[in-house]
Each structure stands twice: as C-alpha cells, then as structure tokens.
Amino acid sequence: MTPHGRRDPGSSGTAAIGFRATALLVMLAALAGCEHRAGVVGVTGVVWDRVTPSPIVSADSPDWHGDSIAFQVVETGLDRIAVADEDGSGIQVQPETGGAGSRNPRWVADGLLVHSSNLSGSEDLWYRDVASGGARRLTSLAGNEWSPVPRPGRPGLVYVEGSDPSSGRLVLIPDTAAAPLGRIYLTPGTLAASEPDWDPAGERLCFTVRNPDGSSQIWSLSMRDTLPIQLTVGVSPQPLTGPQIDRNPRFSPDGTSILIASNRGNRWGVWTLSPLGEARGLTLIAQDLPNAEIRHPAWSPDGTRILLSSDRSGGRALWRLSNLGI
C-alpha cells in the first residue's frame, strides 16, 4: 500500500416528446437498478464509481492526497478514521481507544492526518501517524474544536469552535508548533459558521453558514481583512425539499472555483461556484439519484475527478465521479 497521503448529460410533435420521456424513464429505472455497481454512467456522461465496499459503514467526509484518501466511517457504533488507496483498495481503519470517536480527517502531509476526537473528554484536535496509528493531541483548549484544515504553505490551521460543529466560529491557529498555541477568531459569534476550506495560496477561506430556518449558504473571507462575504443566495423554501442547502465547500486545486453540495431544484447535486459569488458563476456538474443525499465532495489532487459521500446504494458510501467535462 502506498503512503496514505474529481456530470450527469441532458421535436417536433407530441409523439416524439412522449418517446423521449419514456426513454428517459427507462434509463433512470435502469440506473436505479444498477447504481451499486462500479462504472455507472449518468444521463449527462459523468461516470460514478463506488469506492468503498458494503462492509464499510457510513463512509463520509473524504479527503484526497496524492494517490491516497482518508475518510470517516462508523465501526461498532463509533466514528473512526480510515485510509485507503484512491481506488478504495487497502482500507485501514485507524485504531482508537475505548469509546472515543474520531472525525473529519484532513491530510497534513504524506502519512500524517489531523482530525478531531473526544478521546480526552472534550472534542480536541489530534495528529495521527497513519503508519503506526499513533495519535498526538494538538489542542487542549476550553470548549470543543472541530473540522481542522491545515493552511497551505504555512504552519497554521483553521478549525470550528463551539458545541455544534455545524454552527460555530472559525478560529485560526497561526502556528501549530508554537507554545502556547495562539488563536485568532475569524468570524463573529453571531455567524453560524462551519466547514472551512483554504484556497491553494492559504489566503482565503470558504465556509458554510447555517440559518435559523435550516437553510445554509456559502461564504468566504480573505486573510487581508477577515470580512465575511456571502457567495450564494438563499431562496424561499423549495416545494419538495424545504430550505435550500448549499454546503461542504472545497476550493479547486487551482483556486479558480469552489466545489459545493446543494439540494437546489429539489435534488442533491455537486456544483462549481465562482469565488466571486453565485452571480459570477454557478455550474451544475452532476446530480444524484432522486431521494439520495450528497455530502462532502472533494477534488482529486489534479482537479479532474470528485470524491463524495452518497447514500444512493442504501448505505452511505464513497463514490468517485469522472468524465466531468470541465
């Protein structure tokens, strides 16, 4: 095993329209019947390949580094960190102590992860050496720390502080080697922030903001002024799925777009968003099957494929999307 270090495609006369509608229904039925197998081709050409096998339960929150992936699973009812080769082979579930849970892994470097865990009682940030499975505590602060993301090219990281990982404050640790650790609050307590991600230069963050009505939008801020700016626009509740949810933002490897998951149009899909906001660019890449939910899409290191979590096969698994046409 290597050192464990991203579109679905779219007459004249009533008969022609009816024929096309029937053909589309047949195609969708066929997809629903075979989607659990690798190589499923969506109606716009995107290919969906299942990465994690059925014995792996609730695969979620993937991160891709080199030819290796890290993700979160559930084992004996507890959250665990797992690593594998990019095709899902060689899965290793990392050891944990007692009833502790570990969540939201992100690669720091080849063979090294940072994640959150309640091993010491509260939710803290930990480093994990993949080869040995050994963990080293990074934070021992008051309260809970979630969703750490290393800052590219710098010794710091950003995380979410608060009792709820989906509704907290973004905090920057400028230098993870400093003693004691310094902290800079990037968002106010009135902004329910979560799911931060850095641009490749480490100069800008994108993140999710949740609203009291259950909707959420994508925001960003620059390290130059730390002024939060809303990128996507909320709409009235959708007729079938209720509040519009834009979430799980990830900058592309070249920094020109942000990948998001959204239930726009009453169906979960993955979209690319302009870092300048929805008005400057919002493109649908792929939609999942009806009644399936997409979580945490992540780019491949070269920006040509997407790894995401979906329950399209019943259980939640990781799927790799290719032939994106972007």
Q: For 300-326, how does the pLDDT look when each residue is reduced to its tens digit (9 = 90+)?
A: 999 999 999 999 999 999 999 999 987
pTM to 2 decimal places? 0.86
pLDDT number for residue 161? 98
What distance, in Å, lies between the first and last C-alpha atoms of the chain?
A: 31
pLDDT number for residue 139? 97
Residues of the chain with pLDDT > 70: what percent?
87
pLDDT number for residue 1? 42
Is pLDDT above 50 for 33? Answer: no
Element at 79 (helix H, strand E): strand 78-85
> Is the domain defined by 14-322 classed in CATH 2.120.10.30?
yes
Is pLDDT above 70 for 32? Answer: no
Q: What is the mean pLDDT of residues 112-134?
A: 96
Residue 31 DSSP class:
H
Is pLDDT above 50 for 255? Answer: yes
Q: What is the mean pLDDT of residues 38-56?
A: 79
Q: What is the mean pLDDT of residues 49-73?
A: 97
Banded model confidence at residue 135, pLDDT cuts 50, 70, 90: very high
Q: Report domain extents, the chain.
A: 14-322
What would the pLDDT profile of 136-151 be if each residue is shown by its tens digit? 999 999 899 999 999 9
pLDDT number for residue 108? 98
Banded model confidence at residue 82, pLDDT cuts 50, 70, 90: very high
CB 37 within 8 A of CB 117: no
pLDDT number for residue 4? 53
Contacting residues for 41 by C-beta, under 8 A, at least 6 apart: 47, 48
pLDDT number for residue 22? 34
pLDDT number for residue 242? 82
Q: Which amino acid makes up residue 300?
A: S
Banded model confidence at residue 166, pLDDT cuts 50, 70, 90: very high
CB 197 within 8 A of CB 209: no
Is pLDDT above 70 for 280? Answer: yes
Dist. CA 112–CA 157, nearest whole Å: 14
pLDDT number for residue 98? 83
pLDDT number for residue 40? 55
Q: What is the mean pLDDT of residues 275-294?
A: 96
Dist. CA 176–CA 119, nearest whole Å: 20
Contacting residues for 317 by C-beta, under 8 A, at least 6 apart: 50, 51, 52, 53, 54, 56, 59, 309, 310, 311
CB 270 within 8 A of CB 319: no
Is pLDDT above 90 for 184? Answer: yes
HSE-up (13 A, CA, CB side) for residue 173: 24
Cβ burial, residue 156 (10 Å; 0-12/13-18/19+): buried
pLDDT number for residue 39? 53
CB 235 within 8 A of CB 214: no
